[in-house]
Structure 1
Amino acid sequence: MLIGYMRVSKADGSQVLDMQRDALLAAGICAEHIYQDLASGSLDARPGLINCLKALRAGDTLLVWKLDRLGRNLRHLINTVHELTSKGVGFQVLTGHGASINTRTPEGQLVFGIFAALAEFERALISERTKVGLASARARGRNGGGQYKMTSAKLRLAMAAMGQKETVVSDLCKELGVTRQTLYRHLGPDGVLRQDGQKLLER
């Protein structure tokens, strides 16, 4: 069975789903098998996508209009498609830069493998920059007064580190010289800025 998913970034009517819906229907998907969200791709809560993923069964194929309609970011996209593949579900992109992706074909698997490699490369670069930044901060010394204060430099390092699955929060706090409470006052567990963090970067 073919199942479609579509999304626009705003729910105020300034963007419409017509183009995506027409493309999915033209690809042979029944209207009742198309799921949708009217929300930013950066939002975790996307009920349409959640219901879509629940509906998929082994042998089905998920179709999207463009690659950026599915994932919040590259890592989320890669993880989602890997999860689909492990369940025997195919994934196909109809247009745009990812139009060569169809995990039901060897060529499409190769293209998606390149995307996955780029995501891993990006994670490695962020991890390396984080380690270098922390080492540089240690070299300048952070002992003495004010060691629990969050700075914009520490915050940027924390944002990069919190996006890595392997990051241990207690170790990160120790490296930055801040308490866990201070860290979470500025950032969420996924590295997303909170109000205090936003204010700090805007100073």
Structure 2
Amino acid sequence: MLTLSDASISEAIRDAADRLRRGGVAIYPTETFFAIGCRIDCPHAIERIFQLKKRRHQAALPVLISSGGQLSSITQVQACDAETMDALRSLWPAPLTLLLEVKPGLPALLTAGTGKIAVRISPHPVASVLTELCGCPIVCTSANISGMPPSTHAGGISRELLNGLDADVDALLDMPPRPSGGLPSTIVEPCGPMTLRILRHGAFDMQRLEKLGFVIITQEACP
């Protein structure tokens, strides 16, 4: 099996990152499913993702980051309790997505006018390296037609979506390790000191949050 030390895989990821810098989109594996993404500073590419997925513009797009520095560049982390954010960052990389207040200046398409953005650091080596090489957060939404099941292998991705890719500017990273499938990432929103609102149950082990002292409450119970 190929590893990220293999020149062919490393070169493919570098090429994909270069295509994203030029305004393309990429399909790539994550720890859960195949995703489709682009740089978050490229509105044209973001719009293409909505079109390729037939996704409603009222549905915001989650993103991947590669570092805490990128987190502070796009979110209002200072609005959250420092102890809370330090504890959450200690859990990354993981299938744990945080919903945070967004900083002004990002394309409105990303947030669907909510003023918030969903962010995580992926533990998948391909997704992680791609995000780092881009030097910019990237969109990370399932590579499927909206309403259809996500895929753990490239052969399961909608032919309609794949046919919409442009071979000259886009990329498909079909390489190991294969996504594990199962549940998507867990989504939580800080809503008080060491208090999280659960927005979506997913692949992250909630006991890890409880062991750190977090109080987990339902969406309805959060002020």
Q: TM-score, normalised by structure 2?
A: 0.21
> Which of 1 and 2 has higher RCO (CA within 8 Å, sep 6+)?
2
> Which structure has the larger Rg?
1
- Identify, as 1 or 2, the structure richer in strand: 2
